[in-house]
């Protein structure tokens, strides 16, 4: 499971592993982030008219680098 999450959150997973987190804790820390990040990167939220149109679980606390990746993907669309 962690390798599937790593496909989307490689930097986050690798950082947690270097910091000494177990695979289980790493997965727990990054699972929902990877789901939300994948939806943003796939363009699911590209044409949302307002914040009220976002699905309930569309947001998750993410760091600046992750939002940078998402914004770069949006600019390339």
pLDDT tens digits for 17-38?
999 999 999 999 999 889 888 8
Residues of the chain below pLDDT 50: none
The whole-number pLDDT of residue 21 equals: 95
| Residue 38 φ/ψ region, left for φ over 0, alpha for ψ in the -120 to 50 degree band, beta for the rest | alpha
The whole-number pLDDT of residue 6 equals: 87
Q: What is the Cα 9 distance to its own chain's centre?
A: 6
Given a contact cutoff of 8 angstroms between Cβ atoms, the answer to whether 23 and 6 are in contact is no
């Amino acid at each position: 499971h962690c390798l599937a999450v790593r496909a989307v959150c490689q930097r986050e997973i690798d950082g947690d592993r270097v910091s000494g987190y177990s695979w289980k804790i790493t997965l727990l820390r990054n699972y929902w982030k990877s789901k939300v990040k994948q939806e943003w990167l796939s363009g699911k939220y590209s044409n949302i008219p307002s914040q009220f149109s976002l699905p309930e679980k569309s947001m998750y606390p993410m760091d600046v680098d992750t939002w940078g990746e998402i914004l770069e993907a949006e600019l390339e669309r």
